[in-house]
Amino acid sequence: MKNILMITGIVLLSASAGALITQQRMSGSASDASVKPSNDDQGHHHVLVAKKDAQGRTYYTCPMHPQVRQDQPGNCPICGMKLVERVDAPAAPASQERRILYWYDPMMPDQQFKGPGKSPMNMELIPKYAEESPDRSSGVVVSIDPRMAQNLGMRTATVTRKATGQGFAAVGSVEIDETRIVSVEARAAGWVEALDVRAVGERVRRGQRLAALYAPEILAAQKELQLARQSGDTSLIDGATTRLKLLGVSNTGSSTVSHRVAITAPSAGVVTELMVREGAQLTPGMPLMKLADLSRVWIVVQIPEAQAAALKLGSHVEARLRGIPDRRFSGTVDYIYPTLDASTRTLRARLGFDNADGVLKPGMYADVTVAGASTGSAMLVPAEAIIRTGTRNVVLVAEDAGRYRPVEVQLGAERGNEIEVRTGLADGDRVVVSGQFLIDSEASLLGAYNRMGASSTANAEPVP
């Protein structure tokens, strides 16, 4: 038994030694083949070098949920959106270590962290490498599949340069000129025995009789004047005449006494309010009706806060009625209200217009154009193209082959449905006016907004 074990050990040792010698010989042959030139390639040295694919790996992700990564196209398992194709950054050479700029949350790419860990949303932080950050001067370009852009109904508009001025358009309503409203009142107690005006809206002439009153006090004053004239006392006559005028009786030259006193219209106009009816009892100071002179009317407009500074007293304005689009009415800015409406953020103004023919009727709507001095030309873009982030104003400039570039702009005055752009764009640029939410999401994912201007890395700490 002892001999058998010894023989077995000798056999195993021999086999191990033979395998080791064979491996050394094969390694030596391969080393000689890689270093020494062959007979066919005299003078050439061939060195075997390990290489990686320079192109990044293609994957599919969701624009709204960038944490979703799949090897095949399909739909997002979270929201169901169609996945878009993406390519990883090219692999870095083995000899070059990738430098990490910061860590970020894939759901909130604008928030940056100093080190690895978890975000406040309990998401694993992803490193942002230096080679993934494009040059600030070249800007950030977001690529969107043209077919997806077409399915989303994405539209663009061309930046145009137009002549501009301080004038603007507004919408107003025709109202009664309150300075031309008069109130007809009774100055003595009595009764309405006759009423010549019986409905609101009737037109009256200056001096026209409106009603006939029976007033005992006025009747007594008329008899007093009659007696004074019979006595021939001048002072009594003057006193009785003055008393009748104070009671509202204008015809004091008649020598007869009338039981009915006529109430006449102090001015021409339209009856806007009728407070009495025939047979009604009156007290001193009680109003009978109100008259409004419509030969001149107001158009009250509400001016947006951004355009209120261009409104000046005495400025020339033009108005057009929607029912009479071919006729223009000329007027002036009569009054600018001193306070701003806090709910609508607008400033009210009164515009005066002559209305001798009565075409402008209270309650009508009118389109008003306020004239202003020309300020040259300016670049204009549709108002819907502006993305307001709260700290800056951004537009998305469309380039060729489904490429979009976010650009920060400085805005000027609003002109209807367009906004003046002072800096950031050039004539002929195409800006996105609809479907910006997809590009905006991509720009946020790439950190494009942070690279448009000076931005500092947040001092947020990862959640341990």
Q: Is the pLDDT of residue 178 over 80?
A: yes
Q: pLDDT tens-digit profile of 404-447? A: 888 889 988 777 788 888 888 888 899 988 877 667 666 665 55
Residue-level pLDDT at 137 = 37
Residue 116 has pLDDT above 60, yes or no: yes
pLDDT at 227 exceeding the cut of 90: no
Q: Alpha-carbon distance 144 to 194, whole Å?
A: 83
- Residue 136's pLDDT band (cuts 50, 70, 90): very low
Q: How confident is the model at residue 265 (pLDDT cuts 50, 70, 90)?
A: very high
Answer whether 271's CB lies under 8 Å from 211's CB: no
Tell me which range, 64-68, 129-133, 220-224, 382-386, is most confidently predicted by mean pLDDT: 382-386
Model confidence at 43: pLDDT above 50: no
Percent of the chain with pLDDT over 90: 24
Mean of all residue pLDDT scores within the chain: 77
Show Cβ contacts of residue 126 under 8 Å, excluding neighbours closer than 6 positions.
Answer: 103, 104, 105, 106
Residue 272: pLDDT above 80? yes
**Lowest-pLDDT range, 69-78, 83-92, 200-209?**
83-92
Helix (H, G, I), strand (E, B) or coil at 180: helix
Q: What is the mean pLDDT of residues 374-389?
A: 81
- Among 376, 377, 395, residue whose Cα is nearest residue 385: 395
Higher pLDDT, 165 or 161: 161
Contact by Cβ (8 Å): 388, 376 = no
Question: pLDDT at position 235, please?
Answer: 86
The domains of the chain, with CATH numbers, are 58-137 (no CATH), 142-162+377-445 (2.40.420.20), 168-177+294-372 (2.40.30.170), 187-285 (2.40.50.100)
| Distance from C-alpha of 252 to C-alpha of 169, rounded to nearest angstrom | 55
CA-to-CA distance for 23 and 29, rounded, in angstroms? 10
Q: Flag whether pLDDT at 13 surpasses 60.
A: no
CB count within 10 Å of CB 291 equals 24
Highest mean pLDDT among 84-88, 94-98, 348-352: 348-352
411: which strand partners? 421
